[in-house]
Amino acid sequence: MADTKTDNSAVDLKVKVREWVLDRLAVPPSELSVLDLYCGQQGEMYQRVWSKAGHYLGVDKNRPHRLAKTMRASAEMAVQELDLSLFNCFDVDCYDSPWAVARRILRRCGHGRFGLVLTEGTARSLKSGDCNEVIRATLGLGALSNLTLMIRFNDVVTRLMLASLVSLPRVRLECAIEGVVRKQNVIKYLGLVVDKAAR
């Protein structure tokens, strides 16, 4: 069967993870400022969750929805160029590996508590023997050319990548939740509340 990319294959689970993060973050809607980095053409997460935020910016490299303020750009470029201190909630609802973008967010965001939601679909690329550079670098797999067998250790890869993410300087993980869909590929929906100390 073809390996198709579906935008919202587990919408209810994705909504629950986001609502869990919002409950723990516990900021009034007027103070909630969301950067929705893979906002999609339908803006499903905007419609279901983020529309309650006082401030919102959606980013998508293809066709961002038009339900609120959005821009057409890659997430990689957005997290490099935007002033991330303006946001206290980040949504990384990508198709495969969220780690490079998540690491950039944690390095460049302001201090204080914030929410981070990740869609972890690295299994797709691990399955094809591919493995993105940030995973190779973080896990010290640079010298291995064929990573096909890593699919067996997908859950371990996720744990190690998450541990490394929240070990970045001044970062502390307050709490986290994981929702998992095991279909053709394993997709994990991670919700984190993170506290970043001031310099």
Ligand X SMILES: C[S@@+](CC[C@H](N)C(=O)[O-])C[C@H]1O[C@@H](n2cnc3c(N)ncnc32)[C@H](O)[C@@H]1O
Question: Could you list the residues that contact ligand X (CB under 6 A)?
Answer: 7-8, 38-45, 59-62, 74-76, 93-95
DSSP single-letter state for residue 85: G
Question: Can you tell me the distance from the alpha carbon of 163 to that of 6, in angstroms, rounded to the nearest whole number?
Answer: 28
16 contacts: CB under 8 Å, gap ≥ 6: 179
- Which amino acid is residue 183, in one-letter code? K
- C-beta nearest to ligand X: residue: 40
Q: Which is nearer to ligand X, 127 or 196 (CB)?
A: 127
Nearest CB to ligand X, comparing residues 45 and 186: 45
Task: Report the nearest approach of ligand X to the CB of residue 65 (Å).
Answer: 7
| The three-state (H, E, C) secondary structure of 15-81, written as one string | HHHHHHHHHHHCCCHHHCEEEECCCCCCCHHHHHCHHHCCEEEEEECCCCCCCCCEEECCHHHHHHH
Nearer to ligand X by C-beta: 43 or 106? 43
For 159, phi and psi rounded to 5 degrees?
A: -60, -45
C-beta of 38 vs 114, nearer to ligand X? 38
Nearer to ligand X, 12 or 195 (CB): 12
Question: Which amino acid belongs to residue 196?
Answer: K
Closest distance between ligand X and the C-beta of residue 90, in Å? 12
d(CA 2, CA 105): 33
Q: Which is nearer to ligand X, 35 or 169 (CB)?
A: 35
To the nearest whole angstrom, how small is the minimum distance from the Cβ of residue 72 to ligand X?
Answer: 9
Q: How far is the CB of 78 from ligand X (least distance, A)?
A: 7
Give the three-state DSSP class for 8.
Answer: coil
Least CB distance to ligand X at residue 55 (A): 17
Dist. CA 54–CA 19, nearest whole Å: 16
State in angstroms the smallest separation of the CB of 77 from ligand X. 8
